[in-house]
Structure 1
Amino acid sequence: MGAQRVAVLGGHGKTGRAVCSALADRGVDALPLGRADQPDLAGAVGRCDAAYVIAPNLHPDEPAHVASALSALRAAGVGRVVYHSVASPYVPAMPHHLGKAACEDLVRRSGMTWTILQPGAYLQNLDLAGPLDLPYSPDVPFGFLDLADLGRAAAVVLTEPGHEGATYELATRVATVRELASEAGVEVRQVPDPGTHPWLSAMFAYYDDHGLPVGTRVLAALLGRA
């Protein structure tokens, strides 16, 4: 039997809202939790039988954050955890990806029943309403993931049996940014990296050379699509 009440750690951001919405569509009680709940996380999740764990974006020490969350979940008797990782977590050139790789190891050794989701870049991260400036090549391949599909996939693994111990890469479609921009009828140009965060600069440099390819068949299978 799947989870009936799910704590969504990081539930107030765009990822968490997508997961909560998809769980609600399945009649599952979703409890969105944020930073204000961290001091007594064990108390906050006390009536939940599963948790979806999303760390804050670019957290300076995601493994410590996730280790603390896992400890609170265990203390509260939550037996099932789904961790929101990233596609290609072990990429030495991208420090925040390596942090998620370390978190995956923590989840696998947590003693809880676990599933790991590795999403590709969100389609919604691209503003295709007008001309698009991009700090990396628009001609490299990506496996893009629609946020609603991420929510649906999370709801499937949380509510249906057979996903324990699984790690799933998720993408809705494979494309270059130039292809997406062309479909939307907007111009795209590559501009210099603004240098706002060293981890983002490292990510842009990696994207510029390699993109972030992710296959689509796992998501299609999870969602029952042809």
Structure 2
Amino acid sequence: MSAVTPARVAVLGGTGKTGRAVAAAVRARGAEAVPLGRAAWTDLAGALAGCGSAYVVAPNMHADEEAYAGAVVEAARRAGVGRLVLHSVASPYAPAMPHHLGKARAEDVVRCSGVAWTILQPGAYVQNFAPGEEIVLPYRPGASFGFADLGDVAAVAARMLLEDGHEGATYELASFRATVAELAAALGSPLRQVDPRDWARSAGAGLEPRVRDWLLRMFGYYDRHGLPVGTLPMRTLLGRPPRSLRDLLEGR
């Protein structure tokens, strides 16, 4: 596959954990990464100038992700960016979870942008759970998830940004399937299940009411359905095995 020219990649949300990982993966492939944080929004088109592609990560629990995506698309058009790769979420059209619906609407904006696009839909990050630290869980430990390793997601993202052939594609991404209980055991992390209402009165008390409500809805969905994601797309796009639960057990 041929590389995009120029190999200069903007990473919106480049100061967050996902953005930093994607920027590092882009540099590892010999291209220039341009991380863009909040300051870039004073002149986003100017910040994007000279970039052949852009990775788009909205702030976590953004109140209006559709509008965020629209602003990025407009700036990308003005700057002449040839490709957008949107960081979405697995199962974006889940009406019970408002922040997932926000990502579904953002996907629609990007698909209708007139700019070449690719959409990535990762499952829950393995890195959301720290080895050895207690996991306080407001949903059932037996819920099944497709967990995505951040490094695996970043490696796929860099490929989407720098190679042709993925325009118009939407990829769900998971490194392995497991329950939260299995993941906790692999990480050596004690697990404590709590009532979501108790979570709202303690850990969730200081959050913006909208964010707290959205998280409670997410916990309810996870309790009923988990968030299963297939692992074959990640394996295929990486061209190697993704990180596995065994890797965690063996400390790799």
Deviation, 1:20, is 0.3
Aligned to 1:138: 141
Aligned to 1:158: 161
The alignment status of 1:171 with 2:208, answered yes or no, reads no
Secondary structure in 2 matching 1:115: strand
- The 4+ residue runs of structure 1 with deviation greater than 6 A are none
Deviation, 1:136, is 1.2
Superposition pairs of residues 77-96 of structure 1, within 5 angstroms: 77-96=80-99
Aligned to 1:110: 113
Work out whether residues 130 and 187 of structure 2, in 8 Å CA contact, stay in contact via their aligned partners in 1.
no
In structure 2, what is the Cα distance between the partners aligned to 1:53 and 1:211? 26
Deviation, 1:187, is 2.3
Secondary structure in 1 matching 2:18: helix
Deviation, 1:137, is 1.1
Aligned to 1:2: 3
In structure 1, what is the Cα distance between the partners aligned to 2:174 and 2:189? 23
In structure 2, what is the Cα distance between the partners aligned to 1:204 and 1:56? 20
In structure 2, what is the Cα distance between the partners aligned to 1:157 and 1:97? 22
Work out whether residues 120 and 170 of structure 2, in 8 Å CA contact, stay in contact via their aligned partners in 1.
yes
Match of 1:191 among 182, 190, 194: 194
The alignment status of 1:210 with 2:241, answered yes or no, reads no
Matched to 1:72, the amino acid is A
Name the TM-score, length of structure 1 as normaliser: 0.97
Unaligned ranges ≥5, structure 2:
205-211, 242-252
Aligned to 2:249: none
In structure 2, what is the Cα distance between the partners aligned to 1:110 and 1:92? 24
**Residue deviations 1:86-120, cap 9 Å, x none?**
00000000000001001111111000000000010
Secondary structure in 2 matching 1:6: strand
Unaligned ranges ≥5, structure 1:
none
Aligned to 1:51: 54
Name the TM-score, length of structure 2 as normaliser: 0.87
**Residue deviations 1:132-179, cap 9 Å, x none?**
211111111000001001100001111122111000000000001110
Give RMSD over aligned pairs.
1.0
Q: Identity, % of aligned pairs?
A: 59
Count of equivalent residues:
226
Deviation, 1:23, is 0.4
Deviation, 1:122, is 0.2
**Residue deviations 1:160-217, cap 9 Å, x none?**
2211100000000000111011123332121122223111111011001111000000
Q: Which stretch of structure 1 is more off in the superposition, 182-191 or 19-28?
A: 182-191
In structure 2, what is the Cα distance between the partners aligned to 1:22 and 1:60? 29
Work out whether residues 143 and 223 of structure 2, in 8 Å CA contact, stay in contact via their aligned partners in 1.
yes
Deviation, 1:56, is 0.5
Aligned to 1:33: 36
Matched to 1:213, the amino acid is P
Deviation, 1:66, is 0.9
**Residue deviations 1:24-62, cap 9 Å, x none?**
100110000011111200001111010000000011111
Aligned to 1:123: 126
The alignment status of 1:15 with 2:30, answered yes or no, reads no
Matched to 1:211, the amino acid is G
In structure 2, what is the Cα distance between the partners aligned to 1:30 and 1:40? 18
